[in-house]
Structure 1
């Protein structure tokens, strides 16, 4: 069985340092301290940004094969340390061990994709002789690194969502400073351990756990040319407002919906919906929160969902059979329990679950939730989903759009015309046909609209955000 170290450093300009052990990381299931991590202060953050600025030229000058070699080394080391990474994730995030192993696989996939894409930064030759005045002119453009980047990653996928920022930055040659979530910093720190084994230029990376109050420089410092933030909408839009001139990429929240039409395979839909609603205790921005079911199959699918939800195993995330682990902390579980109570008081019916023990909340399904209830209109970010029925498919699309969020949506239908209509009309970043909105592959464009964010992740698409187009015009003269 792997184990955690008694303490972990932070990484400042590629080097591990332990100026303190001020950040206590708890075991999210037991609530007991699991390890300690060094915490950066504003002076260290300032030093890290200065080092990233100095590394801008050397990073940009790295050959594509050199950047690819760094990423390939990471793939190999993550494979070798897979059990250790999964164990650390299970402890610090409370993520069931099977899901933790799955996230390690995605970490590896993301770095592998970045290694492949690092040698594909292509440009374009562009004819400019569109009129007589441009005769003899030829254009071409290429992509160049944008410069030092700032990354702020969340607690729910501390490995893979950090990877979706770090790997593209290395692939294009951008130095970066990262603030991992204070509740789950270990994954990013272990990534730092592996990066420190490579030949990246000094200052190419810093991974700095920091308190929110002391981390303003990640957002406000004009030496940084891009801010990539994943987290809550309230925090994300506030950071954008004070980020100055830098480019901003936001991957924020959602209250994702799935539509189940009357021609669907009910057992298949039920299996996927239960997974989408309750994997990692619902703490996913694309977790299924709203389930819209055609009235002809509503009762039959509702009964299947309730039966499957009741059968889910809750408990210690280290147990192989556990599907529902703890929420990140008791405060979050109390919040969601209160939202369930508000909806019940407003006339909603709890079909199963709804009970809390500390930071463990049962898998909960509800129906009859009125509009205006937070459990419907806001991001639940926990193991709760609400059911409703529809008779008209187009009205169901309108219901999905009746949200301030727009990340992903799922559609179960055998009708290609309805599938295409959903793709055309839904105000989301991604539409999944025959599956839940909770599915993501790490090379696809991923992100949302409305309050769900700005820009796209997915390795190639993040690489585009981390580069700028540099044009070249050549005037040909007769020889």
Structure 2
């Protein structure tokens, strides 16, 4: 299958044809026309007109277009799901869940399109404000550049594109070079729904494309989800514009001595091995009270060993491949380093089969020291680290001993203990008796420290995708 890029609503071929491979078998599933600097510059110029066309649409008209897009996606849901399996390698069940979440993101964005308003400001509350009446309105910024990663190519694209369109902007989407197929399908879907063609560009490409659409002075917002390393590059080069960064994490779970152990184990398994651990809020570090440490570790390893690993297209598969063989080799080197530091391999740690493959057997490692990469960095793999702690203060210190702070899960039956964790943990979200991997698509989502800047969730993204315009009437004039 050969796929063209989308440039201002038009399908375009280039001389840059790139193969897309199925992570499970390494077979070529498509050849995609990738953009270069030339197409990126053209996309910005076309988007200027697209922004004007979008600004003419009323909130109700934008609402209707987004609702139409949701209807089309629902109708084509299985097609999208199977494409997600082929380009990401996630299981078919995980892919169907992503499609349903993307539909919800569209629906929430549609509703928010009708709620973009302003506020009356009591100007005469100021000593110099007598005789004046003021209010503000929100207006679209114009052009939004969206750059998305490989792990959720549909829904993470939707989290940027749908709110941007809901607030009346033109969008240039650059998906991961590894997973451009569903984002291109998304672009086609939005055009079918009736959005102005000049407002929609989907540009698969490499760094040169990203540099153009992040540094161009006519782009007013850059929204990026991906690695800390790339996020720092974008932050340094993008110039004076709004910046939303959803970056990495090494999310923690705390299991206190009074926790429901079975529930904590279940949520750790769900959060640690979904999409082969390739989720920014995947469970990576688990801190268990020393009084229940051995029991938790025994039950966790037992449940992890029950997970079915293999072909992601099979309905019964729990864990599919990582995005590439090189990623498996990377995480195995991290596991080896941790073992050299004296950590214990409880289960897993090897690739599936007799030779290195893109499938890593779900892994549990215990007693991992803080200086190891497996503890400090974002693993982005089906690996969970389990360490003991003695008291609440130590657990909070261990959770916060990280450059990241996205979401944290805490398991306890004691409300006072829960509040101590909520107040002490430095993260964008603290979830009580739930894993850190939980996300409802309408909630404010984002981290602190090097986990990023700004929030996603349609209502909160729209705040970044609009500008406040202050209006003041001098009533004495």
TM-score (norm 1): 0.97
What residue is the counterpart of 1:406 in the other structure? 405
Find the counterpart in structure 2 of residue 141 from structure 1.
136
Q: Hey, what does 1:278 align to over in structure 2?
A: 273
**Contact 1:286–1:407 (8 Å) recurs in 2:** yes
Retained in 1: the 8 A contact 2:191–2:197? no
Distance 1:169 1:87, change over 3 A: same
The equivalent residue for 1:288 is 283
Partner of 2:350: 355
Report the equivalent of 2:462: 463
Q: Which residue of 1 aligns with 2:423?
A: 424
1:51–1:202 CA contact under 8 A, matched in 2: no
Q: Is residue 35 from structure 1 mapped to residue 34 from structure 2 by the alignment? A: no
The number of equivalent residue pairs is 473
Residue 442 of structure 1 corresponds to 441
Q: Which residue of 2 is the match for residue 472 of structure 1?
A: 471
Are residue 315 (structure 1) and residue 310 (structure 2) matched? yes
Asked whether the 8 Å contact 2:367–2:388 carries over to 1, the reply is no
Q: Distance in 1 between matches of 2:377 and 2:100?
A: 31
Cα separation, 2, equivalents of 1:267 and 1:15: 53
Aligned partners of 2:437 and 2:122: how far apart in 1?
43
What do residues 292-341 of structure 1 show as CA deviations (whole Å, max 9, x unaligned)? Answer: 01111111111110000111000000011111111000111100000000
For the residues of structure 1 that align with 2:326 and 2:295, how far apart are their CA atoms? 35
The aligned runs of 1:227-306 (5 Å cut-off) are 227-306=222-301
Change (3 A) 1:272 1:132: closer
Shift of 1:422: 1.9
Q: Which structure 2 residues correspond to residues 149-228 of structure 1 after superposition, within 5 A?
A: 149-228=144-223
**Runs (5+) with no aligned partner, structure 2:** none
Aligned mates of 1:10, 1:67 — CA distance in 2: 24
Indicate whether 1:97 and 2:92 are aligned.
yes
RMSD: 1.1
Distance 2:16 2:67 in 1: 32
Q: Does structure 1 retain, via aligned residues, the 8 Å contact 2:66–2:193?
A: no
List gaps (5 residues or longer) in structure 1.
Answer: 1-5
1:346 maps to: 341
1:214 Cα shift?
A: 4.4
Encode CA deviations 1:373-409: one digit per residue, 9 max, x unaligned. Answer: 0000000000111111112012101110010001100
CA contact (8 A) 1:25 1:36 kept: yes
C-alpha distance in structure 2 between counterparts of 1:168 and 1:318, whole Å: 31
Match of 1:3?
none
Question: Whole-Å Cα distance in 2 between the matches of residues 174 and 226 of structure 1?
Answer: 10
Q: Distance in 2 between matches of 1:132 and 1:432?
A: 45
SS at the partner of 2:192?
coil
SS at match of 2:124: coil
Report if aligned partners of 1:110, 1:167 keep a CA contact under 8 Å in 2.
Answer: yes
User: CA offsets, 1:76-134, max 9 Å, x none?
Assistant: 00000000000000010000110000000101010011011110002111211124431
Describe the shift of the 1:261–1:173 C-alpha distance in structure 2 as closer, same or farther (beyond 3 A): same
8 Å CA contact retained: 1:21, 1:36 = no
Structure 1, residues 156-176: CA drift from partner, whole Å, max 9, x if none? 100110000000011000101
Match of 1:219, SS state, is: helix
Question: Quick check: 1:415 aligned with 2:414?
Answer: yes
Tell me, in whole angstroms, the C-alpha distance in 2 between the residues paired with 1:215 and 1:302.
Answer: 43
Which residue in the other structure is 2:121 paired with?
Answer: 126
Q: 3-state DSSP class of the match of 1:55?
A: helix
What SS class does the counterpart of residue 250 from structure 1 fall into? strand
Instruction: Please tell me whether the aligned partners of residues 110 and 443 of structure 1 are also in contact (alpha carbons under 8 angstroms).
Output: yes
Relative to structure 2, which stretch is displaced further, 415-424 or 390-399?
415-424
Name whichever of 300-309 and 412-421 sits farther off.
412-421
Q: Please say which of residues 307-316 and 215-224 is displaced more in the overlay.
A: 215-224
Q: Find the aligned partners of 2:144 and 2:209 in 1 and give their Cα distance.
A: 18
Q: How far apart, CA to CA, are the structure 1 residues paired with 2:49 and 2:330?
A: 45
Find the residue that maps to 2:198 and give its secondary structure: coil
Matched-pair contact (CA < 8 Å) for 2:257–2:289: yes
SS in 2 for 1:360: coil
Kept in 2: contact 1:7–1:21 (CA 8 A): no
Q: 1:15, 1:196 within 8 Å by CA — same for their partners in 2?
A: no
TM-score by length of 2: 0.97
